[in-house]
Amino acid sequence: MPTLVLKLTPLQNPERYEALARTLTDLTVQLLGKRREVTAVVIDDLPAARWHIGGAPVAQPTALLEISITEGTNTEEEKAAFIAAAFAELQRQLAGDGALAAASYVVVRELPASDWGYGGRTQQARRLVLAA
């Protein structure tokens, strides 16, 4: 049940948001083994005047992707592969032949199974049901 939050600049069109969400979901399923039907992607675009690097407004496409997953469900290698592939995809879709700002990030956040869930049940509660 991963959640992905993508913040980006510059503003994009609805088709680009859909393509980003679809591709990020695909990468999450393929590289992290997560279930498509409970993978959520939220895209928040910001005007360049509201995003600063080194104290100055950004001058090129910039992105921050954060994915939250349940702690201990993926190896370091899987997470590294996801980070590399997600960054490459952001580069391709947002910068084209150019480059994303150097301070563009992909962050994997691991949360304890007791600290989050969906449908009103924690991941820990789901694990206990499966174990029984």
How far apart (Å, rounded) are the C-alpha atoms in residues 48 and 3? Answer: 25
Domain that holds residue 122: 3-131
DSSP string, 33-62: ---GGG-EEEEEE--GGG-EETTEE--S-E
What confidence tens digit (pLDDT) does each residue in 13-58 have?
Answer: 999 999 999 999 999 999 999 999 999 999 999 998 899 999 999 9
The answer on pLDDT for 86 being more than 90 is yes
pLDDT score, position 92: 95
Cα 132 to chain centroid distance, Å, stands at 32
Identify the band that residue 6 occupies on the pLDDT scale cut at 50, 70 and 90.
very high
Report the number of distinct structural domains present in the chain.
1
- CATH (domain of 70): 3.30.429.10
Instruction: Specify the pTM.
Output: 0.91
Average of pLDDT values for 63-78?
Answer: 97
Average of pLDDT values for 82-91?
Answer: 97
